[in-house]
Amino acid sequence: MTIQVGDKLPSIDVQYKTEDGVQTINTDELFAGKKVVVFALPGAFTPTCSASHLPGYVVNSDRLFDKGVDRIVCLSVNDAHVMQAWGEDQNVEDRVMMIADGNADFSRAVGLEVDRSAGGMGIRSQRYAMVVNDGVVELLNVEAPGEFKISDAETILNSL
């Protein structure tokens, strides 16, 4: 079942990479006491994700922080090494936290996984954006297959 507005996010371990190597963080810690914008996408280095989705959040990060967002999280079903490399390629610096959901555990737990096996990508995340306040979903915009209309940074900014 897909997570809904008002639901608490499940407690799942995800990963990210720092200068000290791959780190594991639980979503309880990731979201505790913070207003977080999470946007998820099918894959790092893919066309729409690289040309529009991630860059929009990088460019608008200061505006999001000015609206009370404490953290911006990009989540994809890739490993932490790929997410870190993609972040470097996209110049995210410290504006967006690049989170790896390598086994799609989080994506499955919130009911937002999609099977892209026919295209050789396996299980991936649907494209969406959510606003999470202290672990509780306040806004959830899930894109229709093949679309990029409601999970972009501008739409989220306008909803804050």
- Catalytic machinery residues: 49
Tokens read off for 48: 């729409």
Q: What is the 3-state secondary structure (H, E, C) of 12-71?
A: CEEEEEECCEEEEEEHHHHHCCCEEEEEEECCCCCHHHHHHHHHHHHHCHHHHHHCCCCE
82 contacts 99 by C-beta, under 8 angstroms: no
Closest Cα to residue 150, out of 131, 128, 126?
Answer: 128
Tokens read off for 81: 């090494």
